[in-house]
Amino acid sequence: MIFPSVMARNQNELAGLFKKLSGTSQILHLDVADGKAVPNLSLHFPFRLSSQFKYHAHLMIQEPERWIRRYGNKVDFCIPQFQEVKNHLQYIAWMRRLKKKVAFALSPEISVSLVRKYVKYCDYILILTVKPGFYGSCFLYHPLHKIKLIKKLNPQVKVIVDGGMNPLTIQIAKKAGADYFVSGSYVSKAENSKKAMKELKGVVLH
């Protein structure tokens, strides 16, 4: 599966993206940024979501637990940055109580050794192949080696690769063992988002 990502500074931008991405996917990947954990702002306002999609939210923010208490019921599950969660075992137990999937996002500099003891509890791990916070950042190959390490720790965990996905890089990520993919610039900023999504799917499905 390929999830188009959504970054927006206000409701008008958000509504425009919903219209543009209609027909590309049933699930959208919300990029939430607070300008502190990463140097950018996105969905940092009391947003309204379209009922035509389902959502998961990548939380590039400080104190992600506060966001989840406020908005968590609007999305299927949340993917906080691993280093921004204060107590990982408490967080995992909290998600289980809420009957939500457990997921963490690993920035390029976060090694698998730091998350080793938590991977067995996770449903998803998101591996960032760009520095988080912006569309169009340079694709980094080295984070892809984490996929095999994570799968060894938990063969059931689904790995999402996020960052710099285009027909070439998505093929590389697929070969590295990724299960799902997030596309920002290539789909969300394309002139024809449906066509761009079709191109990516063509690569992933062959």
Residue labelled with tokens 């209609």: 22
Measured CA distances, 158 to 61, 85, 89, 125, 178 (Å): 23, 20, 19, 6, 8
The 10s digit of each residue's pLDDT in 29-43 is: 999 999 898 888 999
Q: How many domains does the chain have?
A: 1
Residue range 162-182: mean pLDDT, rounded: 95
Q: Which two tokens stand for residue 65?
A: 């637990």
Quick count: other Cβ atoms within 10 Å of Cβ 195? 11
Return d(Cα 16, Cα 14) in angstroms, integer.
5
Strand (E) or helix (H) holding 58? strand 54-60
Q: Provide the pLDDT confidence category of residue 134 given band limits of 50, 70 and 90.
A: low
CATH label of the domain that carries residue 175 = 3.20.20.70
Q: Which domain holds residue 143?
A: 2-204
Residues 184 and 5 sit within 8 Å (Cβ to Cβ): yes
Convert the pLDDT of each residue in 41-93 to its tens digit.
999 999 999 999 999 999 999 999 999 999 999 999 999 999 999 999 999 99
CA 185 to chain centre: 14
Structural Rg of the chain based on CA atoms: 16
Name the phi and psi angles at 98, rounded to 5: -80, -5
The closest of 69, 73, 88, 79 to 107, measured between CA atoms, is 79
